[in-house]
Amino acid sequence: MGRPKKTKINLDKSSLQEFMQEIYNDCVNVMNSARKELNERKSRAEIEDINDESMIGKVNNDTLKIIEGTIDRKLALAKLQSQIVDTDKKENTKTNNENSLSDDDKNLLRDIFNEQKEKNNTDYNLE
């Protein structure tokens, strides 16, 4: 059994690192299981008529959409992390005051949290 999921999230840079790692790990697990299913399906496929080929094609297409979705999530995480790093560099050159995110970053994170909430039936407390 894996680690318990983090459900209380503060929207500051220090608490987001764990949550972003959790999302990344979930994406990797989903991608690996989808690839495994796809490869198993290819090796077991016994196509007897056109209907079988059509059904296998639809299932494979759905699996590829899952993989595409996880890639999109990983790219959104990378973009967010680069924005945080860029913001950190700018803040460190100006002043070392506050450890906060921009409103755009917070909106992107809320979208990711809501997506995870629907997917995992986990209620995240955002502050």
Average of per-residue pLDDT values in the chain = 77
Give helix 103-120 / helix 50-94 axis angle, nearest 10°: 150
Domain that holds residue 32: 10-45+52-126
- Residue 36 maps to a domain: yes
Residue 4 falls inside a structural domain:
no
| pTM over 0.85, yes/no | no
Q: Burial level of 81, CB count in 10 A (0-12/13-18/19+)?
A: middle
Domain-embedded: residue 1: no
Q: Give the total number of structural domains in the chain.
A: 1
- Per-residue pLDDT tens for 8-65? 666 666 677 777 888 888 899 999 999 999 888 888 767 777 777 788 888 889 999 9
Cα–Cα dist 81/75, whole Å: 10
Whether 24 is in a domain gets the answer: yes
pLDDT band at residue 114 using 50, 70 and 90 as cut-offs: confident
Instruction: Let me know if residue 104 belongs to a domain.
Output: yes
Q: How confident is the model at residue 96 (pLDDT cuts 50, 70, 90)?
A: very low
**Looking at the domain assignment, is residue 78 inside a domain?**
yes
Answer yes or no: is 98 within a domain.
Answer: yes
